[in-house]
Structures are given as C-alpha cells and as structure tokens.
Amino acid sequence: MRLVGYVGGEDPYGQRLAIYEFCAKHGHQVVGIYEDKGVSGALPPRGRPGFSKVLEVLDQVDGVIVYSLDRIARSLTELVDVVREVGNKGKVIISVREDWLQQIGVGSTWGSGRVEKRIAELLRGFVGRKFNGVTVVGVVRQYEVVRQYNTGLGRRADIAVLKDDGTPLLLVEVERGCEAGPWWVAERRFLDKCREGLGQVFSYAAILKRNGVYVPFVAVATQGRIAVFAVPEDVEEHVDWGAVRAREYAHVLPDDYVDGVLRRQYLILHREMEFTEEFFAEILEALTRIYVKGYGQKRH
C-alpha cells in the first residue's frame, strides 16, 4: 500500500525510522511523512499543521501510518473521530507499535491486511497440490513484479499463486470499502466501487505481459466478495499506460472496456467470500480447468 506518515512529540527521528522499517518489512511504500514539531499533542488533530496536511493528501494514498495511535490524538473521542473520517474515505490507519491491530478504519470488520493474510494462508494449503494437471508451487504475498521481471515500475501484487513454471497463475488484489450492498445489484456495485483495485491488478498483468509473462487470471477480493477474471491475451493493448505509470488505477481501464468486454466475456465468477479451503479449492479447480483448455481465453 501507498501510505503517508505522521510523526509528532518526542523523538521524531526514531518514529520516522520505525515507520520506514515497518513499511520495508511489510511491503508498503511511504510517499511522505508530515511532522508537527513543537506542537502540543493536546491540540485537536485538525488544529495541527502537520496532521492537517496528512488529511489533505489522503485521497492520493491508501492510508496513514503512525508510530503509535496516541500520536494522532490523546483523547479517545478525537481518535475515534479521525478513524471514522479516514475510514469513510475508504482508507486505513496503521500503527507500528500497535501492529496487532493490523489496520483500523470504518466500513469493514477486518482491514485489507487481515483479509490478504487469511486468503494467502488458505491458498498456501494447496502448495504442492495438482489441479487438472497444474501444480501450485507457491503462494507469495506482496509479489514483487520489479524484482522478478526488472520492469523498473516498482509494483507489488497483494497475492500471487504460482504454477509449475514459477510464474503466476493468479494475481489477487485485496480491497476495502467497496462492498456491494443488495444482491440484485451486487456485481455492478462491487466492480464499480472496486474499480481502482480492478485497474491495479490488470495493470500488473499488463506489465508482466509486456515483459513476456502471461498471467491467465486476476481477482479483486474484499472481506465480503470476490470477483475473478480471465486476462485477455492482448491485455497490454487495453490499459492506459499513462495511468499505470502515474498509479491512477481507477483510470487504467476504459469504462466501455470494463462494461462491454471484461464483464461480459472475461468475468469467470463473482461470489460472496467464504474463508474456507473448500471455497478456494473450487476456485483453483475452475481456473486450472480453463487454463489447460485454452490459457484463459474468453468464455462463450
């Protein structure tokens, strides 16, 4: 995730160091850190210049990272207000010291980090197992496209399921704050609200395709739902590369391409999420069946 940091109070250098170390360990990118130097922590968060800057740039990142939650507010009421404001924008707050909280926000019971971890744990249970002759050889969290294929773009997929040749069978992007609502409009609302995640995971598939690696399937998942797509073999011709480079993932895929092509021809499944081995075994069984028949070509 792309995160903006905030430090305040005593030892700002130590807080910065802890934030950078935490993000390096967990695969997050720090796009900047704002500081309130010599400003009383008793002031409300919005009354501090540094934290006000954090809120101003919130739309450009995935969330906020702090060394500890008391850097945001000493008052529990004020802290809850900030969490609500950040969560209502679909963003998260991460605390280095309280990392057992994972990510906090509003709009879901789990943060995307816990969802990602649980999905990866379930998928790792299939490593070494064959589905329709295709062996799952690995499951990687924060799959480094740049390290694997030297693209120079510095991107990481949340989860990659690797097949026999060591390349991805499936890339999964985990989102938060885009649950669908009533079942009769679930697919459209879910995919519309998760447009950024959809653009992000398809951009990774396009980057890899440009570098000679075809990823046959991608998925967008939340705590409540999952949508899995076959990847068009000419995917690199349909993404906006300017948006990919700028990380403006909501604009990577044209609306008419998503609605007229991906939804109609390449959407394999869209279901309520189930955190069970049976659920993900069923998904892998379906994907490998399609893969061995035609490398994820569009369905009829």
Range scoring the smallest mean pLDDT among 22-36, 60-74, 92-106, 133-147: 92-106
Mean pLDDT is lowest, of 108-112, 213-217, 236-240, for 108-112
Q: Where are the alpha helices (DSSP H) in the chain?
A: 12-26, 49-56, 76-88, 112-124, 145-149, 186-193, 195-210, 241-246, 255-257, 277-294
- Whether the pLDDT of residue 21 is over 60: the answer is yes
Break the chain down into helix, strand, coil percent, rounded to 5: 45, 20, 35
Q: Where are the domains of the chain?
A: 2-104, 112-294
State how far the Cα of 54 lies from the Cα of 46, in Å rounded to an integer.
10
pLDDT value of position 179: 47
Question: What are the phi and psi torsion angles at 159 (to 5°)?
Answer: -140, 135
Instruction: Give the pTM.
Output: 0.61
Q: Among 3.30.310, 3.90.1570, 3.40.1130, 1.20.140, what is the CATH number of 112-294? A: 3.90.1570
pLDDT at 146: 63
Range of 79-93, 102-116, 137-151, 210-224 with top mean pLDDT: 210-224
Query: Hey, what amino acid is at 239?
Result: V
Q: Please give the structure tokens belonging to residue 225.
A: 């739902």
For 64-122, what is each residue's pLDDT tens digit? 999 888 888 877 778 888 887 887 777 888 888 875 455 555 444 445 567 788 899 89
Q: Which residues pair with 139 in a beta bridge?
A: 161
Query: Sign of the CA dihedral 34, 37, 41, 42?
Result: negative
Average pLDDT, the chain: 82
pLDDT for 298 beyond 50: no
**Contact present, 48 and 8 (Cβ < 8 Å):** yes
CATH 1.20.1260.10 corresponds to the domain 2-104 = no
pLDDT band at 41 (very low <50, low <70, confident <90, very high): low
Q: If we measure between CA atoms, which residue out of 76, 97, 116, 100 comes closest to residue 18?
A: 97
Return the pLDDT at 152.
46
223 pLDDT more than 70 = yes
Q: Pick the most confident of 17-21, 29-33, 127-131, 272-276.
A: 127-131
